Amino acid sequence: MPLNKILEVQDLSKSFGNVDALQKVNLTFFEAEIHAVLGQNGAGKSTLVKLLTGLYETKSATGKLIMGGNEIELRSVSDARNKGIAYVPQEIEIVDNLTVAENIFAGQLPTHHNIFSLKNTIKAAQELVEKYELNLPVSSFASNLSTAQRQTTMIARGLASNPSILILDEPTTSLSKEDAEVLARTMRTLRTKNVTMIYITHRIPEVMNLCDRATVLRDGKVVLELDKKEFSSEKIINSMIGRSLSADGNVKKEKNKSKDILVLENISAERKGPQSIALTNINLKVKEGEIVGLGGLVGSGRSEVLDVISGRLPFTGKMIWQDKVLTSTNPSEMRKNGIFYLTEDRKREGLLFNLNLKKNVTAGSLDLFSKFGFLNENKESEIAVASMKALSVKTKNFSSEPSNLSGGNQQKLLLARALIANPKILLLDEPTKGVDVGARQEIYRIIHEVQKSGTSVIVVSSDLDELLALVDRVIVISNGTTVDEFERADGDESRILKFGTGVSK
């Protein structure tokens, strides 16, 4: 293979405040290769991608980008596109009621004297599709496309600017295995057309099958570079985790011998919508007073499992709640049963920005301080303030609004809402997302105290250290199915990654 350097990244560093997102990263991309960039969440992949696509200006970082022998500076996404670097984002963004051709050229429609012509657009799209041998019906409406074709349309949109480098950001997250195969085939074809692809992913088997080289990032640094012949999933997983982390992973926990409070047997569920993950054969048990962690990749179906348990997502299969079989649920019934859910999205599914902090805490628990439907606001204030103080929500005024609070305090506010409800099971999806280090520790402490009071907790977290430090038992989910389960003492990060990334089955 002729090895022409196409893009070199030299000593690239970028920091946010005192967080170093990238530290002296050196990378070389060659012509017509598929180059995987791997790493856990927070390893620096996104920052690297944003710098390469011009979303972050080159001058906001230190270091150099060299393309075809010349140093380049990227000022914006369109600047990067003009210089030959195109980006295929993770989400499939397709407008259903436009033709495939219009979708391909969205934002850069070919015009003639400023007048749009559908005929010319379709012709241009047809040329593009033929050039790259993509299988797309350019003149039909996008609503007729299969998922794989939608993904291909996104790639075609990236190729529309005729780039030499195409960056694909976790394209297989929402794809089935068959659709991922189609994508792999498309990428192999593109390689023969001299397109260099930078492939951001979590999924190790895909890397082994498809890629020519792989780079692993951890904590903003390049920790491993492999050629195809050196590929080994063992090496990749180990370098993604880093050895230093296993030190604090040896927490011994007693085996919980209480009885099961919740059992899911062969649960399947499907949410309508393009980005959702179908669940099949979900099996899990939660004991009283136990913290269960759901491990797996983003988009593996972890959050959907919590949606099912909380009654938000209808399911088929058997759910047993305290020895009672439930065939259908709704949120208000599950809330009465004692299940309280804090979703990942605090802003859209947690905080009430129209109400003050106290009223935010008491939402859903009004019966604690009301008689015959009449609110006792003094009692409400007492309860709400006491619970916020107990969780050390930092604010100058308990009657102010939640938008004043920092991320960590917002999360503690929501935990206060959950705890005054005195739940039997607390569902936490990414409880420390966007939370600073100090508040993180407090949230861990709160979760452990909740457990001591006899409440069970189910935690979803992408931070494997966090997950393992918190939980008694781990259940690994991959592609919408539970694939592994182990007591905390019997496994570590690599076990989650092996099963979660599809290396082991």
Contacts to other proteins by CB under 8 A: 16-19, 21, 41-42, 44, 46-47, 310, 312, 331-332, 334-336, 340-341, 343, 348-355, 359, 363-367, 370, 373-375, 377, 394-400, 404-409, 417, 433-436
**DSSP assignment of 20-57:** EEEEEEEEEEETT-EEEEE--TTSSHHHHHHHHTTSS-
Cβ 13 vs Cβ 24: under 8 Å: yes
Residue closer to other proteins, measured from CB, 130 or 345: 345
Sign, CA dihedral 92-459-207-20, equals positive
CA distance 65 to 74: 9
CA distance 201 to 203: 6
Question: In whole angstroms, how close is the CB of 394 to other proteins at the nearest point?
Answer: 6
Question: In whole angstroms, how close is the CB of 370 to other proteins at the nearest point?
Answer: 5
CA distance 26 to 64: 9
Question: In whole angstroms, how close is the CB of 375 to other proteins at the nearest point?
Answer: 5
Residue closer to other proteins, measured from CB, 83 or 417: 417
**Beta-sheet pairing, 196-200 with 34-38:** parallel
Residue closer to other proteins, measured from CB, 259 or 347: 347
Cβ 161 vs Cβ 81: under 8 Å: yes
Question: In whole angstroms, how close is the CB of 373 to other proteins at the nearest point?
Answer: 5
Whole-angstrom CA distances from 216 to 66, 169, 213, 238, 499 are 21, 15, 10, 10, 19
Cβ 38 vs Cβ 202: under 8 Å: yes
Residue closer to other proteins, measured from CB, 87 or 340: 340
CA atoms within 13 A on the CB side of 448: 11
Residue closer to other proteins, measured from CB, 19 or 118: 19
Residue closer to other proteins, measured from CB, 10 or 46: 46
Question: In whole angstroms, how close is the CB of 428 to other proteins at the nearest point?
Answer: 13
Cβ 302 vs Cβ 294: under 8 Å: yes
Residue closer to other proteins, measured from CB, 132 or 340: 340
Question: In whole angstroms, how close is the CB of 333 to other proteins at the nearest point?
Answer: 8
Residue closer to other proteins, measured from CB, 91 or 349: 349
Which neighbouring-strand residues pair with 318? 265
Which neighbouring-strand residues pair with 62? 13
Q: Cα 177–181–182 angle (5° rounding)?
A: 120
Residue closer to other proteins, measured from CB, 252 or 396: 396
CA distance 46 to 169: 9
Residue closer to other proteins, measured from CB, 251 or 352: 352
Question: In whole angstroms, how close is the CB of 332 to other proteins at the nearest point?
Answer: 5
Residue closest to 383 by CA, chosen among 409, 364, 411, 407: 364
Residue closer to other proteins, measured from CB, 38 or 101: 38
Helix, strand, or coil here: 90? coil
Residue closest to 321 by CA, chosen among 257, 264, 256, 258: 264
CA distance 20 to 354: 36
In this structure, the number of other CB atoms found within 10 A of the CB of residue 324 comes to 8
Residue closer to other proteins, measured from CB, 4 or 76: 76
Q: Cα 313–319–323 angle (5° rounding)?
A: 145
Helix (H) or strand (E) holding 241: helix 233-241
Question: In whole angstroms, how close is the CB of 104 to other proteins at the nearest point?
Answer: 29
Question: In whole angstroms, how close is the CB of 140 to other proteins at the nearest point?
Answer: 28
Helix, strand, or coil here: 143? helix
Question: In whole angstroms, how close is the CB of 409 to other proteins at the nearest point?
Answer: 7
Question: In whole angstroms, how close is the CB of 11 to other proteins at the nearest point?
Answer: 20
**Beta-sheet pairing, 374-375 with 481-487:** unpaired
Question: In whole angstroms, how close is the CB of 150 to other proteins at the nearest point?
Answer: 25
